Amino acid sequence: MRQKYNLPMRFMHWVSGLLFIINLGLGWVLSNTEILKGSQASSIPLHKSFGVLVFFLLIIRLLVRSNSELPEEVKHNNKIEKLAEKITHFALYFFLIAIPFIGIAMSNFSGRTISFFGLFNLPSLLTPDKEMAGKFYEMHMMTAYIALGFIGLHILATIKHYIFNKENLLKRMV
């Protein structure tokens, strides 16, 4: 029997979303500024750990979601809005899966260990290859920026529904 869309789903939505955004920010700082120059040795494993955590939360979220009754669908003014919603939600789930996998492959190809907050190390499944590591670094960066765009669309759509459609979608997720 499917449970009503409940507090655990709401909690996972906000926690995984916030951790994902924070980790995108940490990744951007690590790759684009000199701010953390002296502390990068500890910040990169933290970025990797949060990436793995976001991925684990997503797996749990998908399992809970598959056994939950989802909230009533949002009413759309037209078919384009409905299509945009479906594409955006699909893209967000896709990037929550793809970005960690690409990051893991990048670390494996770089010959670097991925430690989960110092509790355990993920197994390295790929042979080190600096050229492939570089390619996966570029993919990791590109997918992160694209994901950020979809997060922006997701937030803007919520604001649009609140202001123009007079629908408070946040109450469904708080």
Q: Tens digits of per-residue pLDDT, 83-102? A: 988 899 899 999 999 999 99
Q: Name the residue ranges covered by the structural domains of the chain.
A: 3-173
147 pLDDT exceeds 90? Answer: yes
Contact of 12 with 5, CB cutoff 8 Å: no
* pLDDT at res. 1: 46
Task: Read off the tokens for 169.
Answer: 């979608």
Q: What is the mean pLDDT of residues 137-146?
A: 95
Task: Read off the tokens for 127.
Answer: 């042979």
Averaged pLDDT score across all residues of the chain: 84
Q: What percent of the chain has pLDDT over 90?
A: 48
Global confidence as pTM: 0.83
Task: Read off the tokens for 114.
Answer: 């991925």
Counts of helices then strands in the chain (DSSP H, E): 5, 4
Instruction: Please report which confidence band the pLDDT of residue 142 belongs to, taking 50, 70 and 90 as the band edges.
Output: very high
Q: Which of 5-9, 62-66, 84-88 has the highest mean pLDDT?
A: 84-88
Which phi-psi region, left, alpha or beta, contains residue 166 (left: φ > 0; alpha: ψ -120 to 50)? left
Tell me the backbone φ, ψ of residue 164, rounded to 5 degrees: -90, -35
* pLDDT at res. 96: 92
Task: Read off the tokens for 153.
Answer: 């669309």
Q: What percent of the chain has pLDDT over 70?
A: 81
For 120, the 3-state DSSP assignment is: strand
Of 63, 51, 135, whose CA–CA distance to 101 is shortest? 51
Distance CA 30, CA 113 (A): 17
Can you name the residues that pair with 122 across neighbouring β-strands? 114
Do β-strands 120-122 and 114-116 pair in parallel, antiparallel, or remain unpaired?
Answer: antiparallel
35 pLDDT exceeds 70? Answer: no
